[in-house]
């Protein structure tokens, strides 16, 4: 049991309002799970050499961790990043906005390959915004697109990140 | 490419097998992804105009192939949005 969970296990979270195994307890466990998903994805971006907590690459990876690894939705991302150690509020918001744009507009790109549609949406956003968060989101979308192909040979940070988490998660070895 | 797809689907015969046609199609898709991945790595490490041009060239080639393979018309969803 983590220190964070111990801190949450207060009297107002007791039996009278949901019980120790009740609704509120499960709601907080969900939040803990999403924060851990963000933290784990951030750690992978650190392994790639240019990411980590409070970096734009780390934030893009953490957003992906919450949405894909944690099964959360976009409204839960910002709080999960804060829970995983991100303190730069502006960086959190920029990362959420970048992913929000891609999520919203990738469906409008009429391509059969939906991963490639995300790349197109991310590159449109990057060209329009020209921010580090947009560039990090473009990198993430391209990594996802590459990993969606069989036998692709990645290089550099994308390859390291793919080997450590995205490949096992996609069921490849 | 259309012929490759037809051979891979078993709708036509050619001097190569269905498996070979499927492998060639897969290679084309992999090669697009590799080029997009390589060029975006270069673009992020050095966001010069040349690297930007190379990335968009790789992305547009992948998009063109996707349209071609799906036999669809490359119309953007919004006339104001840049084409893929």
Q: What confidence tier does B81 reach under pLDDT thresholds 50, 70, 90?
A: low
Encode pLDDT of A27-74 as tens digits: 777 888 899 989 888 887 765 556 788 999 999 999 999 998 888 989
Q: CB-based burial of residue A98 (10 Å sphere; 0-12 exposed, 13-18 middle, 19+ buried)?
A: buried
Given CB atoms, is A15 within the 8 Å cutoff of chain B? no
Q: What distance in Å separates the CA atoms of residue A100 and residue A71, rounded to the nearest whole number? A: 15
* Rg of the Cα atoms in chain A: 17
Given CB atoms, is B7 within the 8 Å cutoff of chain A? no
Query: What pLDDT, on a 0 to 100 scale, did the predictor assign at position B67?
Result: 85
Q: What confidence tier does B17 reach under pLDDT thresholds 50, 70, 90?
A: confident
Q: What distance in Å separates the CA atoms of residue A167 and residue B3, rounded to the nearest whole number? A: 33
Q: Check: CB of residue A131 under 8 Å from CB of residue A14.
A: no
Query: What pLDDT, on a 0 to 100 scale, did the predictor assign at position A17?
Result: 54
Q: What Cα–Cα distance (Å) separates residue A124 from each residue in A101, A104, A135, A153, B67?
A: 10, 13, 11, 25, 18
Alpha-carbon torsion A106, A110, A114, A118, what sign?
negative
Q: Is A55 left (phi over 0), alpha (psi -120 to 50) or beta?
A: beta
Q: What distance in Å separates the CA atoms of residue A26 and residue A13, rounded to the nearest whole number? A: 11
Provide, as residue numbers in chain A, all residues whose Cβ is less than 8 Å from the Cβ of B75. 110
Q: Closest CB to A142: pick one of B40, B69, B78.
A: B40
Query: What pLDDT, on a 0 to 100 scale, did the predictor assign at position A104?
Result: 93
Mean pLDDT across B7-18? 76
> Cβ contact (<8 Å) for A127 and B82?
yes
Residue A153 pLDDT greater than 60, yes or no: no
Predicted complex ipTM? 0.78
- Alpha helical stretches, state H, A48-113: 56-64, 74-83, 89-105
Tokens 């547009």, residue located:
B60
Query: What pLDDT, on a 0 to 100 scale, did the predictor assign at position A67?
Result: 92
Residue A102 pLDDT greater than 70, yes or no: yes
Provide, as residue numbers in chain A, all residues whose Cβ is less than 8 Å from the Cβ of B33. 145-146, 148-149, 152
Residue B63 pLDDT greater than 80, yes or no: yes
Question: Which candidate in B22, B27, B28, B33 is best for mutational testing of the A interface (most A CBs within 10 A)?
Answer: B33
Q: What distance in Å separates the CA atoms of residue A129 and residue A107, rounded to the nearest whole number? A: 20
Query: What pLDDT, on a 0 to 100 scale, did the predictor assign at position B24?
Result: 82
pTM for the model stands at 0.75
Mean pLDDT across A6-23? 57
Q: Check: CB of residue A116 under 8 Å from CB of residue B58.
A: no
Among A41-50, B18-27, B40-49, B75-84, whose mean pLDDT is lowest? B75-84
Q: What distance in Å separates the CA atoms of residue B24 and residue A161, rounded to the nearest whole number? A: 28
Given CB atoms, is B68 within the 8 Å cutoff of chain A? no
Query: What pLDDT, on a 0 to 100 scale, did the predictor assign at position B71?
Result: 67
Those residues with Cβ within 8 angstroms of residue A27's Cβ, 6 or more apart along the chain or in another chain: none
Q: How many angstroms away from the CA of A69 is the closest CA of chain B?
A: 22
Residue B40 pLDDT greater than 80, yes or no: yes
Please give the sequence-ordered ranges of beta strands (E in DSSP) within chain B, or none if there are none. Answer: none
A126 is written with which tokens? 């990057």
Q: Which residue has the higher pLDDT, B58 or B69?
A: B58
Q: What Cα–Cα distance (Å) separates residue A149 from each residue in A116, A153, A154?
A: 11, 10, 11
Provide, as residue numbers in chain B, all residues whose Cβ is less than 8 Å from the Cβ of A156. 41
Encode pLDDT of A141-150 as tens digits: 998 898 877 5
Among A162-166, B53-57, B77-81, whose mean pLDDT is lowest? A162-166
Among A22-26, A135-139, B16-20, B47-51, whose mean pLDDT is lowest? A22-26
């Amino acid at each position: 049991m983590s220190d964070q969970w111990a801190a949450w296990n207060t009297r107002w979270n007791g039996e009278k309002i949901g019980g120790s195994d009740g609704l509120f307890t499960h709601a907080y466990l969900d939040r803990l799970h999403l924060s851990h998903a963000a933290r784990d994805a951030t750690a992978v971006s650190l392994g790639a050499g240019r990411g980590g907590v409070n970096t734009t690459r780390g934030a893009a990876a953490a957003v992906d961790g919450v949405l894909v690894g944690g099964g959360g939705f976009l409204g839960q991302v910002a709080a999960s990043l804060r829970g995983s150690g991100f303190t730069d509020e502006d960086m959190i918001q920029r990362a959420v906005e970048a992913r929000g744009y891609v999520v919203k507009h990738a469906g409008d790109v009429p391509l059969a390959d939906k991963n490639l549609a995300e790349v197109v949406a991310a590159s449109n956003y990057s060209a329009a915004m020209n921010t580090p968060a947009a560039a990090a989101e473009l990198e993430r979308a391209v990594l996802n697109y590459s990993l969606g192909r069989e036998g692709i040979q990645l290089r550099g940070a994308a390859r390291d990140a793919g080997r450590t988490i995205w490949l096992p998660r996609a069921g490849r070895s | 490419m259309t012929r490759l797809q037809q051979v891979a689907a078993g709708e036509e015969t050619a001097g190569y097998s269905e498996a070979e046609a499927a492998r060639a199609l897969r290679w084309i898709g992999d090669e697009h992804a590799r080029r997009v991945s390589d060029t975006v790595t270069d673009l992020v490490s050095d966001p010069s105009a040349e690297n930007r041009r190379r990335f968009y060239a790789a992305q547009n080639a992948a998009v063109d192939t996707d349209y071609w393979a799906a036999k669809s018309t490359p119309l953007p969803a919004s006339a104001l949005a840049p084409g893929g």
